[in-house]
Amino acid sequence: MKKILIICICFAAFGVVTLAAVYDESNFSALGRLFEPPPEGYIIGKDNAPGRGTHHPSENCGWCHGVGGRAEHYLFTMAGTLYSDRAGRAAVKGGEIIMEDREGNIISMTTNESGNFWTYAPVASDPYTVSTYHGHEPFVPLYVLDADGNLVQPAEPDDPRTLKYKTWTRKGNSARHMVSIAGVGGGTATTTRMSCNMHHGGISAARGALWVGNGPTLDAYPYSNLSYRKHIYPILRSNCAPCHIPGSTITSMNTKTDHDILSTAVDYSNGLDLMTYEGSAVVVPIYDAVIPNRVIGSKTVSKVGVESVVDTVSPGQSLLLQKVVPGALHGGGAFWEESSLDYRAIRKWIAEGALKN
Ligand code: HEC
Ligand code: HEC
């Protein structure tokens, strides 16, 4: 059932060309517009703010650029650093960060030579914001409803926790979709400013970073005898992990819409787990339909693995490769050109028999 639902959402997403999207509550639920391609038709970098801003790349800008911080004169609505890979090895210069708020306003920033970006552009407030501690209880509505469920008092628009957006990162043909929505102010404090670097950590957790994935995962690959463990797994791990993992993911609950649906357990993978060769079967919790985060049982989620999307007879025809080149219809977006090192490494490994070596 869930699988069918996700497929339908993707078809709907690709069929619609949105310029200035009209707000629809379902857009800002855990599943809403999850895999929508990045918006088009605006000026790239239009929301870049002045300054050099080359310092502290990968750190949480909100530490100092927050109320009471050392740099509180510069109170950004959003800031962060963009890297070319998830491990945060190389900063991306001239990459784009796109945000779309709940009123359909597009905010576009480009990165400087340290990969940093920042903006003061306003982000629309969600009158139905629920305050949570990192998506968990206690759930405190910041709005007031009357007995009939009508909105009597919206959440305070100046409270940064109510500023809601979705985001994408893009460089050339490479675009990343964000997998859930977020508020600008994290935590429980009304003054907190978080930066993207706070939540989008590199693999080692030593750095925080958003990543756009236009660079190769490894610096070099051998001409032959490619190894699944040494070469192929790291590519899939650093690019496909946000979605093609075993089991399902729980997203934060931060608007009323999230509380109206049965569960925020989302499976982004379409039944494909690229973190394992044979596939996986993991036991995941089933959540109560009314009480958020109350576990009432468990079930097994089974997925196919890497071996089921390779074609050793015609390597280039492998779904693993065809799905993720520019122009292909893929919920996760485009990852590499046929000339890219990672693409060529995977293709070679498939041609050599796609062994679990
Ligand atoms: C450890 C503290 C700290 C962190 C972390 C920090 N900054 Fe700053 N930033 C400062 C201070 C201090 C100033 C100068 C404030 C003043 O003049 O009042 C400043 C000023 C700035 C300015 C304006 C001056 C200029 O350089 O053009 C920008 C832009 C800026 N920071 C961007 C960022 C970004 C983007 C991040 C996150 C990647 C970040 N900062 C992280 C402390 C910090
Ligand atoms: C942001 C989430 C996301 C990321 C990241 C992502 N994908 Fe996907 N992928 C999806 C979704 C959603 C589908 C199902 C819809 C579709 O076919 O486009 C899918 C489907 C696929 C399929 C087809 C599965 C089938 O049985 O039809 C393949 C193959 C695939 N992805 C490969 C990859 C590879 C390789 C990567 C990393 C380089 C990757 N994906 C990264 C979301 C993602």
Query: Tens of pLDDT along 70-80?
Result: 998 999 999 99
Would strands 279-287 and 116-119 be described as parallel, antiparallel, or unpaired? unpaired
Residue 6 lies in a domain: no
Same domain assignment for residues 224 and 208: no
Instruction: Indicate the range of 44-53, 237-246, 252-261 predicted with least confidence.
Output: 252-261
Q: Indicate which ligand has the atom closest to the C-alpha of 57.
A: 1
Give the residue-averaged pLDDT of 83-107.
88
Q: How far is CA 284 from CA 98, 168, 300, 337, in A?
A: 33, 28, 6, 36
Residue 17 lies in a domain: no
Residue 208 lies in a domain: yes
- The tokens for 237 are 């791990």
* pLDDT value at 9 more than 50: no
The reply to whether ligand 2 has any atom less than 6 angstroms from the CB of 105 is no
Residue 88 lies in a domain: yes
Same domain assignment for residues 93 and 169: yes
Same domain assignment for residues 46 and 104: yes
Same domain assignment for residues 294 and 340: yes
The reply to whether ligand 2 has any atom less than 6 angstroms from the CB of 343 is no
Q: Calculate the CA 319 to chain-centre distance.
A: 22
Q: What residues have CB less than 8 Å from 57, skipping those under 6 apart?
A: 81, 91, 114, 115, 116
* pLDDT value at 259 more than 90: no
Same domain assignment for residues 197 and 247: no
The reply to whether ligand 1 has any atom less than 6 angstroms from the CB of 342 is no
Residue 11 lies in a domain: no
Q: How far is CA 6 from CA 11, 266, 334, 344, in A?
A: 9, 9, 18, 30
Pocket test for ligand 2, best of 85, 270, 319 (most atoms within 8 A of CB): 270
**3 state DSSP class of 240:** helix
Same domain assignment for residues 210 and 233: no
* pLDDT value at 19 more than 50: no
User: What CA–CA distance (Å, rounded) separates 63 from 338?
Assistant: 41
Same domain assignment for residues 130 and 173: yes
Q: Please tell me what DSSP assigns to residue 91.
A: B
Same domain assignment for residues 292 and 227: yes
Pocket test for ligand 2, best of 243, 340, 342 (most atoms within 8 A of CB): 243
**3 state DSSP class of 185:** coil
* pLDDT value at 327 more than 50: yes
H helix count then E strand count, the chain: 6, 16
Boundary-marking domain end, from 215, 248, 276: 215
| Ranges of H-type helices in the chain | 2-15, 196-199, 233-240, 256-260, 319-322, 341-351
Boundary-marking domain end, from 161, 188, 215: 215
Atom of ligand 2 minimally distant from the CA of 213:
38
Distance 90 CA to ligand 1 centre (A): 21
Pocket test for ligand 2, best of 84, 244, 344 (most atoms within 8 A of CB): 244
The reply to whether ligand 2 has any atom less than 6 angstroms from the CB of 282 is no
Atom of ligand 1 minimally distant from the CA of 52:
27
Query: Tens of pLDDT along 144-181?
Result: 999 998 889 999 988 888 888 888 898 887 888 776 67
Query: Tens of pLDDT along 25-55?
Result: 666 666 666 677 788 999 999 999 999 999 9
Give the residue-averaged pLDDT of 332-343.
88
Q: Dihedrals φ, ψ of 284, to 5°?
A: -120, 155
Distance 42 CA to ligand 2 centre (A): 27
Q: Where are the strands (E) in 10-163, listed by range?
A: 78-83, 96-101, 106-110, 116-119, 130-133, 136-141, 144-145, 151-153
Query: Considering the chain, what percentage of its residues have pLDDT values greater than 90?
Result: 41
The more confidently predicted of residues 188 and 105 is: 105
Q: Indicate which ligand has the atom closest to the C-alpha of 239.
A: 2
Q: Dihedrals φ, ψ of 241, to 5°?
A: -60, -35
Look at ligand 2, atom 37, and give the residue with the nearest C-alpha.
240
How much is the pTM? 0.83
User: What CA–CA distance (Å, rounded) separates 182 from 294?
Assistant: 22
Boundary-marking domain end, from 215, 242, 262: 215
* pLDDT value at 85 more than 60: yes
Same domain assignment for residues 105 and 200: yes
Residue 29 lies in a domain: no
Q: How far is CA 116 from CA 82, 112, 149, 205, 249, in A?
A: 6, 6, 43, 18, 29
Atom of ligand 2 minimally distant from the CA of 330:
18
Residue 10 lies in a domain: no
Cis peptide before 222 (omega within 30 of 0): no
Instruction: Indicate the range of 123-132, 284-293, 305-314, 342-351 predicted with least confidence.
Output: 284-293
Same domain assignment for residues 53 and 89: yes
- The tokens for 277 are 């060769």
Count of domains forming the chain: 2
Residue 357 lies in a domain: yes
* pLDDT value at 280 more than 50: yes
Identify the domain containing residue 351 by its residue range: 217-357
Q: Is residue 248 within 8 Å of residue 264, measured between CB atoms?
A: no
Same domain assignment for residues 245 and 352: yes
Distance 47 CA to ligand 1 centre (A): 17
Nearest to 317 by CA among 355, 350, 279: 350
User: What CA–CA distance (Å, rounded) separates 25 from 260?
Assistant: 11
Distance 65 CA to ligand 1 centre (A): 7
Same domain assignment for residues 239 and 149: no
Length of the chain: 357
- What is the largest distance, in Å, between two alpha-carbon atoms of the chain? 69
